[in-house]
Amino acid sequence: MSSSRTISLMRFLIEEQRAHPHINADLRLLIEVVARACKTISIAVGKGDLGGLLGEAGSGNVQGEAQQKLDVLSNEILLEANAWGGHLAGCASEEMDDPHPIPDVYPKGNYLLLFDPLDGSSNIDVNISVGTIFSVLRCPDGVTEPRVEHYCQAGTTQVAAGYTVYGPSTLLVLTLGHGTHVFTLDRELGSFVLTRRDVKIPAETREFAINMSNQRHWEAPMQRYIDDLLAGQQGPRGKDFNMRWVASMVADVHRILTRGGIFIYPWDKKDAAKPGKLRLMYEANPMAFIVEQAGGKATTGRERILDLQPTALHQRVPVFLGSSAEVDAAMAYHREHDSQS
């Protein structure tokens, strides 16, 4: 049951709009529309086998990855929900080669929406948490038909970013540039309710998240950093570390937002054409914005992610994010290595 002290997402956004003049009615509508689409995705994910939506779709995306049926459906849900509201100039998705224009029959707005419709999709069939990640940019003035170059803006220009986790509960984590806030989907009310305001990531941690099976492909400073974490109390770091890896970025980042930690998907030499696995525009930038707003750090191991100037829509980058002191420690290994070579 809701009470007068319950803060729904709608009320939160209206209050943010009053407090911060740069948050206008269109941005508020955009967030509400994305949240509504995510509720629909959450229902589809929650049906599991009963919905007949598990398994591969039989298609591939621009990255050459096999698409799951729920990847395709989640993409369609987000596109359809955002087509007609008049708040967007266009959108781009990890699942589509090119930016998606707003159909001519609808009015156009001033924002660009970028999303990974279903992150962690290899976990769908095994009933492990997956999620949606999104990033909001302003469309440059005077541009009515945005092209790739209009989307390729540095992460510092994001006006909002968020992710949902479709897990034991469905969560929406959101930043509009004034802290990072967590909303929980009240399945009886059908609305997202503010459950944690202005979360802060502890600066120190004893937990790291990485896919260790790639160790032999990492560069030297990365090998040394992880060796030292594994050496524990007897090693140079002087403390024992625990490891967790869900392989859904949304779930790994959410754990870090909740109790600290460092998440790493480093550069590796498996495929020289791919500098890391994660996508700058759909994963790294929005997560970096959320993490920084929660007091954490997000870098490539050498540079701040939000300062990177994108050169392509589907560009990949190495990602180190989470507890600030631990991200600094990982960067120090890279700095030391670079200064000696």
Residue numbers at the binding site for ligand AFP (CB under 6 A): 65, 116, 119-122, 211, 247-249, 252, 277-278
Closer CB to ligand AFP, 39 or 277, in the complex: 277
- Residue 119, annotated ligand binder? yes
Output 176 or 246, the one with its CB closest to ligand AFP: 246
C-beta of 12 vs 115, nearer to ligand AFP: 115
Ligand-binding annotation for 338, yes or no, is no
Kindly give the interhelix angle for 9-19 and 25-47, rounded to the nearest 10 degrees. Answer: 160
Tell me how far apart the alpha carbons of residues 240 and 242 are, in angstroms, rounded to a whole number.
Answer: 7
Rg, C-alpha atoms of the chain:
20
Q: Is 15 annotated as a binding residue?
A: no
Q: Token pair of 30, please?
A: 């955009």
Burial readout 296-325 (b: 16 or more C-beta within 10 A, e: otherwise): bbbbbbeebbbebebeebbbbbbbbbbbbe
How far apart are CB 252 and ligand AFP at their closest, in Å?
Answer: 6
Residue with smaller CB distance to ligand AFP, 111 or 263: 263
Q: Considering Cα of 324, then 329, then 332, then 337, what sign does the dihedral take?
A: negative
Q: How far is the CB of 186 from ligand AFP (least distance, A)?
A: 26
Which residue is associated with the tokens 């007949």?
Answer: 52
27 labelled ligand-binding: no
Measured between alpha carbons, how far is 319 from 263 in angstroms, rounded to an integer? 8
What 3-state class would DSSP assign to 65? coil
116 is in an annotated binding site: yes
Q: Which two tokens stand for residue 221?
A: 């400073």
Q: Please, what is the minimum distance in Å from the beta carbon of residue 166 to ligand AFP?
A: 13
- Judged by beta carbon, residue 174 or residue 321, the one nearer ligand AFP is 321
- The H or E element that residue 34 is part of is helix 25-47
CB of 137 to ligand AFP, least distance (A): 20
DSSP 122: G
Nearer to ligand AFP, 87 or 254 (CB): 254
Closest CB 330 distance from ligand AFP, rounded Å: 17
H or E stretch including 227? helix 220-230
Q: Tell the smallest beta-carbon distance from residue 6 to ligand AFP (Å).
A: 31
Binding site residue list for Mg(2+): 94, 116, 118-119, 283
Binding site residue list for substrate: 119-122, 211, 277
Binding site residue list: 94, 116, 118-122, 211, 277, 283
